[in-house]
Structure 1
Amino acid sequence: MKQPKIILAILGALAIVSSHAAAPALADRWASLRAEQPKLQIRDAARVLGSTEAELLATNVGKTVTVLQNQEDSAREIMRRALDLGEVLALTRNENGVIERTGVATKLKPQDETATPGDPEKEAERKQRMKNIAGGYLGGEIDLRFTFKNWKYAFAVVQPGRDGTTSRSLQFFDSHGMAAHKIYVKSEAGVAVFDKLVADFRAPQQTAELKIEPIAPKAAEKPDSKVDVKEFQMAWNELTDVHQFARLLTEFGVSREQALRLAPAGMAERVTPAAVRKLLDESAKQQLSIMAFLGNESVIQIFSGKITKTAAAGDWYNVLDPKFNLHLRETAFNSGWIVKRAGVTSVEFFDKDGELVVSFFGVRERAKPQPQSWVDMTASLPRATS
């Protein structure tokens, strides 16, 4: 009767040895890859190694990386405390785009988080909205829109920076090990705040083992023949605010790019992927104030303002201003669209998988028409021939 227990004990020991061997093996392979390609970004390294960015980062737990708490509200509370860091660099990315902004995040005023007495419906709406607000980040230099339910892992990273100084950052990932958002401390005053935040949110278990969930296959797009195109176009024309567009997609069960294909006449016009260069170059040349939206399923980051320096580098086209960088892998772009909704014109670019990479708007004052200079510039973008 003892033999099965002995076998189980041996198998258990082997499993423990195997799990401990796996992490060093990944760490060693990453170290070798960094030696061969020192400029390779961690996200691209993860792809080469058949891993995820979160797992690569976790190989340094106990060295340069500290695991932070990941309870239901942890990410929101960490971001709320991060408002006290002062000047930071906020970085958000998706597969084919990166947006980086250096500045100070705006905090909400106390009354903005106060309940509305006597109105249960408004109070319910407020509570739902507050789930994705971390006490600020609405407008201003660091402008973010959160979907915290998709945030899973959080790390504090302290390591030598490329400029020789110590880099301190908070890095967040989803359940698939994909980067959600990163914040880098950019002021001396922020160091003590960072250290206190890390101490307060440090996870009891400092382990490199993560439960990474596989990414589900992308759902098939509804056939155009199954869409009530006439009703869809009528609903589009009745939009009174550009923010209603997401609800329109849900109501008719269509993807974003599918909606552009089925748009009412004159409401969506296809441009070439190369139009992104002209849009950025002309915005810089004419000193147009633009808005750039770039994100993933966890967060959308927004830049508002004027840009100055644009440049190509390999597969990427970039904005390289002192406190704003935008990096777009233009070789992965498949289509671009000029879109008109509720009197607002945007330009959106999609990759070869039909995923939205980045969208642009002209900056406009509340309740006022969009600048004619923005409309004229978008009208000059090169149209797609098919």
Structure 2
Amino acid sequence: MTQKPSAADIRQAKIDNAKMRDRDLATKLGISEAELVAAHVGSRDGETITRINPHPDQLMPLVSKLGEVMALTRNISAVHERVGTYGEYRSGPHAAMVLGHEIDLRIFPKHWVHGFAIDQVTENGTRRTLQIFDAAGDAVHKIFMRENSNHDAWVEVVAELTLDDQSEGVETVEATPVEPAKQNPAKRDILLEEWGKMTDTHQFMRLTSKLGMNRLGAYREVAGEKWVRPLAISAVETLINKVSEAGQRTILFVGNPGNIQIHWGRLDNIKNMGPWVNVLDERFDLHLRNDHVAEVYAVEKPTKRGPAISLECFDARGMTIMQIFGMRDPKNDNDDLAQWHQLIADLPDLNVEEVSA
């Protein structure tokens, strides 16, 4: 087993690779991002890094004092950045929520294990962030102060969250592998029957769990039936561009095991750069590694308000990269999402891509 670099070695590597993103440098060093940050705990060279209480019950009620900030949640294939103010927080032992039109989170507290407040003087001014990591040292959620944030509240918030332990370094565990698709052919008919009886999208995960499946496994099990249509890989980029052209509002989910971040609204300014498909709007950015997409499905789930139709994409391991639903026009009570449904219907099927390949 290769020995990990010492805290001093990590700090020197950071100096030697000053322009490299933390995530990329951590990968280069063979450590987690949390270990990279923890090696810098303390004050030195215009930077102060403080260990903080990472639990959302302590963190979220205080973060609202910071005013307008940028919330960032990512997985290995997508980054979701949303500008706004943290609003109502609802605690729960297994799942918690931040509710708001701009910053909307579904939190799984057991994964909020390590927390840091980072205060840096850079050539572009002061940069302040709160960063949360899971037990493996992977980023769960980050909060970035902006120019118009309440910087007067920063010291108070950090002081209230500061832990007694301010030692260098952090202990991490092996990351839990992504669960591959779980199918159960013996329960396929029951899945189809119960699927048609759903009245709320949240019933889906309970249904699949009861039948010994997971999300991707269920989609594969009934692919080609009424509820699930396999799509070409190109459908993801196509939909993002078509949504922009049509001015269609969306509900867009990006998450990791510890947090899901939700965007409500339009996707206007689309820029493709190499493998990245980017949405670069005034208060929302999405960065998607399109080359990581291995499976794409159009999925319909019955609800009391009508069908909830989504595009959902997965990587080669079976990890959910992103989900996109149509959003009703808040100014139009009669919006039946017909435009959204047509955008999904027009997407290329998987076999179209196979034939043209």
TM-score normalised according to structure 2 size: 0.88
**1:368–1:318 Cα change, 3 Å:** same
Residue identity in the other structure for 1:133: A
**1:340–1:368 Cα change, 3 Å:** farther
**1:69–1:188 Cα change, 3 Å:** same
Question: Paired residue for 1:53, among 8, 15, 33?
Answer: 33
1:188-228 deviation line (CA, Å, top 9, x unaligned): 45112121011111111211221101123445654544x41
Question: Paired residue for 2:318, among 329, 350, 354?
Answer: 354
Determine if contact 1:150/1:174 at 8 Å carries over to the other structure: yes
Residue identity in the other structure for 2:274: G
1:294-347 deviation line (CA, Å, top 9, x unaligned): 011111000011121101112211000111100001111101100000111000
Report the RMSD for the aligned CA atoms in angstroms.
2.3
Residue identity in the other structure for 2:210: E
- Whichever of the two has the greater Rg, that structure is 1
Residue identity in the other structure for 1:261: R
Residue 69 in structure 1 maps to residue 53 in structure 2:
yes
Deviation at 1:28, TM superposition (A): 2.1
* Aligned partner of residue 105 in structure 1, secondary structure: coil
Partner residue in 2 for 1:363: 327
> Map of 1:210-225 to 2, 5 A cutoff?
210-219=170-179, 221-222=181-182, 224-225=184-185
> Map of 1:279-294 to 2, 5 A cutoff?
279-294=239-254
Provide the C-alpha distance between the structure 2 equivalents of 1:189 and 1:46, rounded to a whole number of angstroms: 29
**1:220–1:292 Cα change, 3 Å:** closer
Determine if contact 2:131/2:143 at 8 Å carries over to the other structure: yes
Deviation at 1:250, TM superposition (A): 1.1
Deviation at 1:150, TM superposition (A): 1.2
**1:278–1:189 Cα change, 3 Å:** closer
Provide the C-alpha distance between the structure 2 equivalents of 1:339 and 1:189, rounded to a whole number of angstroms: 39
Partner residue in 2 for 1:41: 21
Provide the C-alpha distance between the structure 2 equivalents of 1:188 and 1:234, rounded to a whole number of angstroms: 52
Partner residue in 2 for 1:272: 232
Provide the C-alpha distance between the structure 2 equivalents of 1:66 and 1:145, rounded to a whole number of angstroms: 25
Residue 337 in structure 1 maps to residue 297 in structure 2:
yes
Residue 242 in structure 1 maps to residue 222 in structure 2:
no
Question: Paired residue for 1:178, among 138, 161, 179?
Answer: 138
More helix as a share of residues: 1
Deviation at 1:131, TM superposition (A): 6.1
Residue 144 in structure 1 maps to residue 140 in structure 2:
no
Provide the C-alpha distance between the structure 2 equivalents of 1:275 and 1:384, rounded to a whole number of angstroms: 9
Deviation at 1:187, TM superposition (A): 4.6
Deviation at 1:160, TM superposition (A): 3.5
Residue identity in the other structure for 2:220: R
Residue identity in the other structure for 1:239: M
**1:172–1:79 Cα change, 3 Å:** same
Determine if contact 1:106/1:140 at 8 Å carries over to the other structure: no
> Map of 1:117-266 to 2, 5 A cutoff?
129=92, 132-133=95-96, 137-160=98-121, 164-188=124-148, 190-219=150-179, 221-222=181-182, 224-225=184-185, 227-263=186-222, 265-266=225-226
Provide the C-alpha distance between the structure 1 equivalents of 2:68 and 2:138, rounded to a whole number of angstroms: 25
Which segment is superposed worse, 75-84 or 144-153? 75-84
Determine if contact 1:177/1:212 at 8 Å carries over to the other structure: yes
Deviation at 1:58, TM superposition (A): 1.3
Residue identity in the other structure for 1:76: D
The number of residues matched between the two structures is 339
**1:348–1:370 Cα change, 3 Å:** farther
Determine if contact 2:50/2:116 at 8 Å carries over to the other structure: yes
| Structure 2 gap ranges (5+) | none
TM-score normalised according to structure 1 size: 0.82
Deviation at 1:48, TM superposition (A): 2.0
Determine if contact 1:339/1:347 at 8 Å carries over to the other structure: yes
Determine if contact 2:132/2:140 at 8 Å carries over to the other structure: yes
**1:374–1:220 Cα change, 3 Å:** closer
Partner residue in 1 for 2:342: 376
Provide the C-alpha distance between the structure 1 equivalents of 2:69 and 2:325, rounded to a whole number of angstroms: 25
Deviation at 1:175, TM superposition (A): 0.5
**1:132–1:261 Cα change, 3 Å:** closer
Determine if contact 2:184/2:212 at 8 Å carries over to the other structure: no
Determine if contact 2:128/2:145 at 8 Å carries over to the other structure: yes
Partner residue in 2 for 1:327: 287
Residue identity in the other structure for 2:34: A
* Aligned partner of residue 96 in structure 2, secondary structure: coil
| Structure 1 gap ranges (5+) | 1-17, 114-127
Provide the C-alpha distance between the structure 1 equivalents of 2:248 and 2:178, rounded to a whole number of angstroms: 37
**1:208–1:330 Cα change, 3 Å:** same
Residue identity in the other structure for 2:62: R
1:73-92 deviation line (CA, Å, top 9, x unaligned): x4321111101211010000
Provide the C-alpha distance between the structure 2 equivalents of 1:130 and 1:218, rounded to a whole number of angstroms: 23
